[in-house]
Amino acid sequence: MDSLGPITSNVSISPNPVAVNTIAALSATVDDATTGGSNVASAYYSINAVGPTQMLLTPSTAVTTQATATLAPFAQSNIYNVCVHGTDVPGNTGADACVLVPVYDPNGGFVTGSGQITSPAGADLLNASTAGPATFAFVSKYVSGNSSPTGNLQFKFKSGNLDFQSISMDWLVVTGQPRAIFRGTGTVNGTNLCNFEVDAWDGSFSGDDAFDLKITSCAGGGDRYNLPATAVTKGNIIIHK
């Protein structure tokens, strides 16, 4: 007797990131082979918990199938959580599998910032007990005709011997809080290639400017830095509209 829902995996959006007012394609694999062996009956997606909306299955009757849908254009820049789940013929519903989708406006605002924060113990993952002042400076903006933003990020935490410099940017999302999130790649101390993500608040973090930095997936092994949203002690962050 089949009492388990199918497993959903490989959820993807194309393109990703997505420009505002642009159609995107959603796909996912829905598989009941290891959860009862029944045919998949249907699959659905939701966006930020709004839905569900039914998807097309190819093949339409199979134990393992590909679910696809064309998403209506996103009207506003933001980070959206898109989730997919499947149901098999006996009526068992599987768990959601989700992907975060940054939706950007190439004609929207940009962000600049410079200043100082206090890096708390635990933020530097290689020097967990180390705390103290750290400085940052950044700019991220879209140039007309480009699908990726230009700019740079510098972050220095002297007590942890951490000097991060960006080398490229993947996307920038500016929201109305006002708040900006941007992601890219860079190097730690000039050699170790890592991914980074900045979350910057312009007076919208309990009335303060705030800086959040993740340095992850480093070529030298693992993640390096995980700073939660932290109030700026010197300097400022500005969202330019």
Summarised one tens digit per residue, pLDDT across range 68-90 is: 999 999 999 999 999 999 999 99
Task: Quickly state the pLDDT bin for 136 (edges 50, 70, 90).
Answer: very high
Of residues 234, 186, 198, 22, the one with CA closest to residue 110: 198
What local confidence, expressed as pLDDT, does residue 241 receive? 79
Summarised one tens digit per residue, pLDDT across range 180-214 is: 999 999 999 999 999 999 999 999 898 999 999 99
Q: What is the CATH number of domain 7-104?
A: 2.60.40.10
Q: Cα–Cα distance between 54 and 61 in angstroms, integer?
A: 15
What local confidence, expressed as pLDDT, does residue 108 receive? 82
Question: On the CB side of 230, how many CA atoms lie within 13 Å of its CA?
Answer: 22
Which architecture does CATH list for 110-240? Beta Barrel (2.40)
Contacts of 9 (CB under 8 A, 6+ apart): 28, 29, 31, 97
Summarised one tens digit per residue, pLDDT across range 206-236 is: 899 999 999 999 997 899 999 999 999 999 9
What is the CA 88 to chain-centroid distance, rounded? 30
Of the chain, the percentage scoring pLDDT greater than 70 comes to 100
What local confidence, expressed as pLDDT, does residue 109 receive? 85
The domain limits of the chain are 7-104, 110-240
Task: Quickly state the pLDDT bin for 177 (edges 50, 70, 90).
Answer: confident
pTM: 0.84
